[in-house]
Each structure stands twice: as C-alpha cells, then as structure tokens.
Amino acid sequence: MLVCHDCHKTIDQDKKGDRYSAELLKKWKTAREARVVIVTGISPSKKSHVVLFGARISEEASPLQFERAVEAVFPNRFPAEERPVKLSMVCEHDDSSEKYWLTESDNLCAAFERHITPRITETEPCHFSMFAFAPQPLLILLGSLLTDKIPVDVYQLHREPPNWQWQPHPSGFEFRTRRPQRTEGEPVLVISLSASVAHSRVTNVTGENVSIWELTIDEPHNDFLKSQAQLVMFREAARKVIAAIGNAHGSSSLRIFPAMPVACAIELGRVRMPKSDMPWEIFDQNNKRKGFIPTIRIGATK
C-alpha cells in the first residue's frame, strides 16, 4: 500500500501491529481501491457544466461554492470543466427600483448568451447542473432561458442539514391547486410554498377584479423541498395549473406572486412554453415598499 514517507515510518514502527494491523491496512487498501473504481468508472457522457448564479459568488461566505456544488453532483455526474460557469449579478441599483430589474434582467440575458449558449451548441451532448441564490423573478427568467429542452439538474440549498445534496423523498407529500370561484377577472397565480401568500396582499396591488389561482402545499415553509422527486412533482403541477389558466382565460397576461424555493423558481421558468403560454408578469415581495412590486415581464412584446 502506497503512503507518504512519514506514514510509512509510523506504520513500520508498530512492529507488533497493535495499532496498524495487517487486517486494518488491508481494509484501508480495499476501501481506497473501491473509491478509485467509483471515481474513474463514471461514464464520459455523465459530465455536466456546473453553473453558479447569484450575488457576490466570488466571496467566501457565499453558499455558491464550486467545491460544495461538485459534492452534490457526484457520483451521478462530474464537472465538465475545472471551473464553474459564473452568472454573477453586478447591479448597484436598489431592488425596489424599476432600474434594478431592467438592468439585472439584461445582465442575465447577456451572461446567458455569453456563457451558456456556446456550451449548448457544442457538438457533443450537453448537460448543466444549476446552483443559484438570487431573487425569485430572476430565477424564473433564468429558467425560461434554459427551457425544458436543455438537460438540466437544478439543485436546492437545504437549511437542515445545510448542503445541496438531495435527501429522501417525504412520504404523503403532494402539491395542491386551488381554483378561483369565478374566472371573469384577470388571471393571477399565487405560489404559496415557502410561505403562505394572503390573497389580500395580492389584491392590494391588483385590485379586486382578479381571478386568483393558487399552487400550494399543506404546510408551506422555507425548507419543505427535500427530494428531487418533489421537484419533478412541482414541474408537473405547475405545468397543469398554467395550462388550466390558459384554457380559462385565453391570451391575457398572467401575473405571478411567488413564495417558493430557488429550485422551484427555476423550474417554473423552464416549464413555460413560449409559443403557447400567455405573457407573464412576475411580482416580488419588497420590504422597503412594504408589499409586492412588479419586476420582470416574460414573453411580452417590447
């Protein structure tokens, strides 16, 4: 068994094998060999571009760290490059201003075109692993740029334990859709997952002449998303409610009031069908403005 000079010396000094027995050394060797087999046995087709999207991603304190992302993708995937693809936000405007959302959406679209699009057009199969920590409207926009045509694994930062690894699927979990009693008003989609969004907070912004659809769970809270299976269920539930809203309201603009995890926000954008879905207007809770404010429009004619 190959070890460093100092370890060789330490082991050899244990003449009787009281601490470093032959059985223990063979166990270490077998475990090491098994680990090497696993690492080197990953198919080349399993490579993935690791993408980090968020504010101040170069700072040490940020949860968006390449090493932590690699731990999450392995052993199902391995990084296609030695460094991550960074989509950083640099705007100095306050997020309560219209300029912030215009600037940041333009920055994101430009960064996507610069860093992601060339990798999508590569001749070999292309896959992305997405790690993000950013405002929900920008995450939804990112998802709409990716679409569901591009192979992407989206990850969620968990609070307990604090990591990006997916956890076992909770039993008995399901998403629920609440339909409005009438559909004569302008359509609104409330997504109450990380927290409950009271309808009064919506009508304070939109007025009373709206038809509120809601996608929710039994007990909304900020760490409910544990498994990749839950994310698949969210995509299916979101696509169904968006289709139902389209059937009920036609081509009207859809206003969306989200309170949901990062991964769900990206997947909401990915399930959008640009050729058939109505334009979206995304709202965001802003504490300085003490309520929801309009931020980004997706699919609207400029």
Tell whether omega for the bond before 125 is within 30 degrees of 0, i.e. cis. Answer: no
Average pLDDT for the chain: 89
pLDDT at residue number 208: 95
pLDDT tens for residues 102-161? 999 999 999 999 999 999 987 676 899 999 999 999 999 999 999 999 999 999 999 888
Kindly indicate the confidence band of residue 301, based on its pLDDT and cuts at 50, 70 and 90.
low
pLDDT top residue among 267 and 81: 267
**What's the rounded Cα separation, in Å, for the pair 205 and 138?**
20
Q: Does pLDDT of 2 surpass 70?
A: yes
Q: What is the value of pTM for the model shown?
A: 0.84
pLDDT at residue number 54: 87
pLDDT tens for residues 153-206? 999 999 888 899 999 999 999 999 999 999 999 999 999 999 999 999 999 999
pLDDT at residue number 57: 43
pLDDT tens for residues 230-280? 999 999 999 999 999 999 998 789 999 999 999 999 999 999 999 999 999
Q: How much of the chain, in percent, has pLDDT values that exceed 70?
A: 90
pLDDT at residue number 213: 98
